[in-house]
Structure 1
Amino acid sequence: MTTDVLARAKGRVDAYFGISGHGSTVKRELMAGTVTFLAMSYVLAVNPMVLGDAGPLGDKGMPMQAVFTATAVAAVVGTLVMGLWARYPVALAPGMGLNAFFAYTVVLSMGIPWQEALSGTLLSGIIFFVLAITKVREKIINAIPMQMKLAVGAGIGLFVAFLGLKSAGIVVANEATFVHLGDFHEGTTLLALLGLVLTVIFMVLKWHGAVLYGILATAVVGMISGLVKLPDGLVSLPHGLDQTFGQAVIHLPNVFTNEKMVIVVLTMLFVDFFDGAGTLIGVAHHAGLLTKDGKLDRAGQALASDSIGTAAGAIIGTSTTTAYVESTAGVSAGGRTGLTAVSAAFWFLLAMFFFPLFAVVAGVPAVTAPALIVVGVLMSRALGEIEWEKLEYAVPAFITVIMMPLTFSIANGIAMGLLFYPVIMVAKGRAREVHPVMWALVVVFLAYFFFLAE
């Protein structure tokens, strides 16, 4: 009797996700979800460090435990929607790069409170959802040239790597030269360097979860050397969301009265929309799930799942939630359907109870810095796809990439690059190739630099 019930349940799961049709098995899908979780679980340590009050933001940051819980809940919600509705083997979590934009550009540079920044994230998610479920999504995707999309991704990679080098103490401020090599006699700097070496070795060996293992190994060495304190315990009940939940909704009216929020919402929407679309297509291509003409089935559901993750994450209390390219690790392990995503969501739900362990890691920037540097390296691979021999692409792409770390602002990099692109295209005699959306952005970004940028 029990065997029959299990067999029928397994058959329904198979039929719903199309597991057999994709040449996979339930067991393989569940294992693939585990691999995906291991590959991206570092976000549970890094995101609280970037956004939390125990990290560089200090008292301007959000309560660290609340960020940890919100990170896990947002990952569970976004990944379940992707797995159960869009049925793709793609996991979601608060994105690297956009969390840095949230913390360092919006909160620190612009002086916008984190509550209002969450409202901007929520609004960007709502707009994203509207674009995703309508045919406007194709027009928007085609409006921005691929070369600029690549430049934005690479620039964010350099920015994230710079943050990691700064957190590690490898790069420090200098009045004469602006930046300088850090003090390698400092214990935390040496610990970060060791962590970077270990993480790179794990990645070269192609270990699934290499970034997580690097963080754990660095933390253990730090505990042995006395640079990292021992955890107070192993498990605890999730809490802290009472401090962040709903703040995005409460402060949403402020978004419409603060002119600075225009560029904030546009940047969040731009990066999330194109990064999400690019990641989904990349993972689907790796899994052999694209149609014969290279398109993504259920593209509307997939992109809408990303936007729902962003909106839900903002309401819960974290920065933009987006599809993770680390999902390719699960695909490489055989994942082909939404059951892989459901499996990854289960592990994020379980991880929610291990805050004491992640808190120790998140509280020491030197431990998480190697993860930021490595993620920056991975994101910067897009540099190789830019057509550098064509100046009409090379110049705006270079300006986009270089301005992000040098001005310590993702928004500045995007704005500068997208201002140069149409001007150069006109000079090249290719004005007709510039989409009207690009000219609208030129007006917005000019207003930003003249009236809002600081």
Structure 2
Amino acid sequence: MKKSFLEKHFKILERGSTVKTEIGAGVTTFMTMAYILIVHPMIMKSAGMPAESVFTVTALMGCVITLLMGLYANLPFALAPAMGTNAFFSITLVATGAVTWQQGLAMNFISGVIFLILSMFGFRELIVKFLPRSLKLGIGAVVGIFLIELGFKSGGIFQITDNGLALGDLTSEVAIVSIIGIVITSILVANKVKCDMLVGIFLTTLVGIPFGVTHLPDSFISLPASIKTIAFHLDFTDMFSIKVLPILFVFFVGDFFSTLGTLLGVSEKAGLLDENGDLPDIQKPFLVDAFGTVSGALLGTTTITTFIESAAGVGAGGKTGLTAITTGILFFFALFFSPIALLIPGAATAPVLIIMGIIMLGCMKNVDYEDFTEFFPVFFMIVFTAFTNSISNGVGAGIISYVLVKVGTRRHKEVGIGLYILALIMVFYFIN
């Protein structure tokens, strides 16, 4: 039987999927991460950048780099400006007067170039091989915990206070709609309804209308704003001074381990990892990710990274690059139909993030619980992620604790030289 172009390129049947499933998964991914179109411009606005232009760049990069991920790497991952990095850029650096936004973009650009060089020569792939199998398995759970926390916060069920996490106002409209959405989506998932995540988002969005959480737009079409006010405005002044090095390091390490965590964690759920817990041809998504950061900085946005919300699309059955292509196309339409893209409230996507996160905790069943030196670093990694709200922090803590507990039990020979180097790098990261 002659294979179609889609099957030849994306291997849809080989990976146990269908075109319909892949398209539905792509829509699901887009709906869960459409919030970036609102949140990112607002965060960058605090750095003095025009929100309208940032919106255009956000949608444009989400389109182009996600399409590249689908076509080149054939993986169901979507990319967009990274949450966390944008806050560090706007609030920690620019708003405090440490640098201008033009200098900040230059730092991001240099970080991306380093990424690109390391990816082209396979160094990032080599670093992945340094990680022991238990930590690779634990990264999936780390991603799950991060998704759960993200969902509870965006759904108004949790809130961040000076004392840490606390219950939100459960009587608020947002929290009520989120809780209803959790019930609806969990029932759909339990009954194995097709496109359960996508249907859950749609139904929860409808529920939000009478509660005033879902706001219907006055119009459905809008033309994208010009990006000439932010594109190619990088300022390399004092870029190689000693004070810049720690900032570059934070950009670099934060993005590296965040991307690594997402790639391994979501790929594990999609069944794309090999017997050693590695993602075959991981150099390809690393290259796409690095190219996204370089081109994004040139056009006027912060680090482009593989989005954790890709897990929602994988949960909806996405296993190939066709999922990413669908998401990328929707980002393109968002340029002209932004009112529709922004229609979906956080209360509607929160249930999907929470449920997908819970499902991803299933990877913990393969951790060796008979060996304390193997499972302790994994749980330490999960807890650190949960309480610092950072995948990078969690993975870093896991690496350091793994090395310490192995050395402390005189099993240092089980730790490769590469892992010692990674541990030292992460110590420096935490110090800075």
Q: Given the two structures, how large is their TM-score scaled by the length of structure 1?
A: 0.74
Tell me which residue corresponds to 1:237: 223
Q: 1:194 corresponds to which letter in structure 2?
A: I
1:40: Cα distance to partner?
Answer: 0.8
- Which segment drifts farther, 385-394 or 113-122? 113-122
How far apart are the structure 1 equivalents of 2:108 and 2:11? 36
- CA 1:74–1:253 in structure 2 vs 1: closer, same or farther (change >3 Å)? farther
In structure 2, what is the equivalent of residue 402 of structure 1? 383
Contact between 2:143 and 2:261, CA under 8 Å: does it hold in 1? no
Distance in 2 between the 1:385 and 1:293 partners? 12
- In the alignment, does 2:342 pair up with 1:355? no
The offset of 1:206, in angstroms, is 4.1
Residue 257 of structure 2, aligned match among 261, 267, 270 = 270
1:147 is aligned, of 118, 128, 134, to 134
Q: CA RMSD in A?
A: 4.2
Q: 1:7 matched to which residue of 2?
A: none
- Out of 392-401 and 270-279, give the one that drifted further: 270-279
Specify the alignment match of 2:187 in structure 1: 201
**Contact 2:108–2:248 (Cα < 8 Å) also in 1:** no
How far apart in 1 are the matches of 2:279 and 2:164?
46
Matched residue count: 420
Q: For the Cα contact (< 8 Å) 2:145–2:382, is it kept in 1?
A: yes
* Equivalent position of 1:423 in the other structure: 404
Stretches of structure 1 that go unaligned for 5 or more consecutive residues are 1-10
Does residue 393 (structure 1) correspond to residue 380 (structure 2)? The answer is no
> For residues 442-453 of structure 1, what are the structure 2 equivalents within 5 Å?
442-450=423-431, 452=432
**8 A Cα contact 2:205 2:348, kept in partner:** yes
Indicate the residue corresponding to 1:81 in structure 2: 68
Q: For structure 2, which runs of at least 5 residues remain unmatched after alignment?
A: none
User: In the alignment, which residue of structure 2 is the partner of 1:48?
Assistant: 37
Give the Cα separation in 1 of the matches to 2:265 and 2:327: 21
**Which range moves more in the overlay, 213-222 or 36-45?**
213-222
Q: Cα–Cα, structure 1 residues 204 and 124, in superposed 2: closer, same or farther, change >3 Å? A: farther
1:34 has 2:28 as partner: no
Q: Which amino acid aligns with 1:192?
A: S
Secondary structure of 2:221's counterpart equals: coil
> Aligned AA for 2:415?
V
Partner of 2:123: 136
Q: How far did 1:231 drift?
A: 0.9
- SS for the counterpart of 1:53 is helix
- Residue in structure 2 matched with residue 126 of structure 1 by the alignment: 113
Deviates more, 1:99-108 or 1:36-45: 99-108
- SS of aligned partner of 2:306: strand
Q: For 2:287, what is the secondary structure of its paired residue?
A: helix
Secondary structure, in 3 states, of the residue corresponding to 1:238?
A: coil
Counterpart-to-counterpart distance in 2, 1:294 and 1:164? 27
Partner of 1:159: 146
**2:287 equivalent among 304, 308, 326:** 304
Q: Which amino acid aligns with 1:76?
A: C
- CA deviation digits over 1:400-438, x for unaligned, max 9? 211223234444333333222111111222212222233
For residue 396 of structure 1, report the CA deviation from its aligned partner.
2.0
- Seen in structure 2, the aligned counterparts of structure 1 residues 170 and 90 have a Cα distance that, compared at 3 Å, is closer
The aligned amino acid for 1:272 is T
Q: Is the 8 A contact 2:143 2:391 kept in 1?
A: yes
1:166–1:271 distance in 2 versus 1, CA, 3 Å: closer
Matches within 5 A, 1:316-355: 316=299, 317=301, 319-322=303-306, 324-325=310-311, 328=314, 342=325, 344-355=327-338
- Indicate which of 69, 76, 87 corresponds to 1:90: 76
Deviations 1:61-99 (A, max 9, x none): 97665555444322322233234444x25343238xxx3
Structure 2 contact 76–313 (Cα < 8 Å) conserved: yes
Cα displacement string for residues 106-130 of structure 1 (whole angstroms, at most 9, x for unaligned residues): 6557778894666565445433333
Given candidates 155, 162, 169, the residue that maps to 1:168 is: 155
Paired with 1:294 and 1:183, the residues of 2 have a C-alpha distance of 41
Judged with a 3 Å threshold, the aligned counterparts in structure 2 of structure 1 residues 36 and 360 are, in CA distance, closer, same or farther, namely closer
Which residue in 2 is equivalent to 1:226? 212
CA contact (8 A) 2:142 2:385 kept: yes
Which residue identity is paired with 2:141? A
Deviation of 1:399 (Å): 1.9
Q: Secondary structure at the match of 1:42?
A: helix
Q: Secondary structure of the residue that 2:216 maps to in structure 1? A: coil
State the alpha-carbon separation in 2 of the partners of residues 67 and 49 from structure 1: 10
Deviation at 1:266, TM superposition (A): 0.9
- TM-score by length of structure 2 reads 0.77
Name the counterpart of 1:19. Answer: 8
For 1:448 and 1:351, the matched residues in 2 are separated by 36
Judged with a 3 Å threshold, the aligned counterparts in structure 2 of structure 1 residues 398 and 253 are, in CA distance, closer, same or farther, namely farther
Matched, 1:189 2:180: no
Q: Distance in 1 between matches of 2:151 and 2:12?
A: 41
Cα distance in 2, alignment partners of residues 123 and 445 from structure 1: 20
Cα separation, 1, equivalents of 2:240 and 2:253:
12
Amino acid at match of 1:402: V
Distance between the aligned counterparts of 1:21 and 1:171, measured in 2?
40
Matched, 1:437 2:418: yes
Give how far 1:223 is off.
Answer: 2.4
Query: Does the residue aligned with 1:234 lie in a helix, a strand or coil?
Result: coil
Q: Distance in 1 between matches of 2:100 and 2:176?
A: 32
Question: CA offsets per residue over residues 239-259 of structure 1, 9 Å max, x none?
Answer: 364465446x44696586432
